[in-house]
Amino acid sequence: MMEKIDTCYGPIDAAIFEKLKNIELIIFDVDGTLTDAGVYLDAKDGEYKKFNTKDGLGIMNLLKSGLKAAVITGRTSPLTVRRMKEVHIDYILQGQLDKGPALDKLCNDFNLTPDKIAVIGDDLNDLPLFQRVGFSACPKDAHSYIQKIASIVLHRDGGHGAGRELCDLLMMAHGLLNTDGGPK
């Protein structure tokens, strides 16, 4: 039986924490991961997205701790840029229908190998990232195939705290946050 570590998100396999100890950067997908996958359009050209403030705080805590974050997303939206700037993610690659080359660019720009990178995504367009990075996570409501191949299926849905959960687990694995979610 695998050893479990009790966390504020429930028991997590100790092997997950071992993998997370090697991660230096998280790549976030946006639609379906940091949002609930809804894109709200008005009668003209307006677009609306709902981001979760808990995800945002988790990202800011992660960055403040010295770990890194980036965004690779298939859609292009000024709302994504605005929200990522608010949470202090400066590295944003939008319109990436094939996310593999975007990963290559990110590895080069951050001087990291893929095994030092985690990704959180929710659908088949994230597959090129899942196949190459050291750790993959998906929200509880991700596409069934992505759930099958992810290193971990998180307890939260996309846009409802899944991003925060991964940030917290990474910080716990690095000894930067207590496993009960409280500060060190």
Asked if residue 151 lies in contact with residue 129, where contact means CB atoms within 8 angstroms, the answer is: no
| Torsion angle in degrees (nearest 10) through CA of 58, 126, 131, 97 | -130
Residue positions forming the annotated binding site for substrate: 31
**Dist. CA 86–CA 106, nearest whole Å:** 21
Residue positions forming the annotated binding site for Mg(2+): 29, 122
Asked if residue 176 lies in contact with residue 65, where contact means CB atoms within 8 angstroms, the answer is: yes
- With CA atoms as reference, report the closest residue to 169 among 159, 181, 158: 181
Residue positions forming the annotated binding site: 29, 31, 122
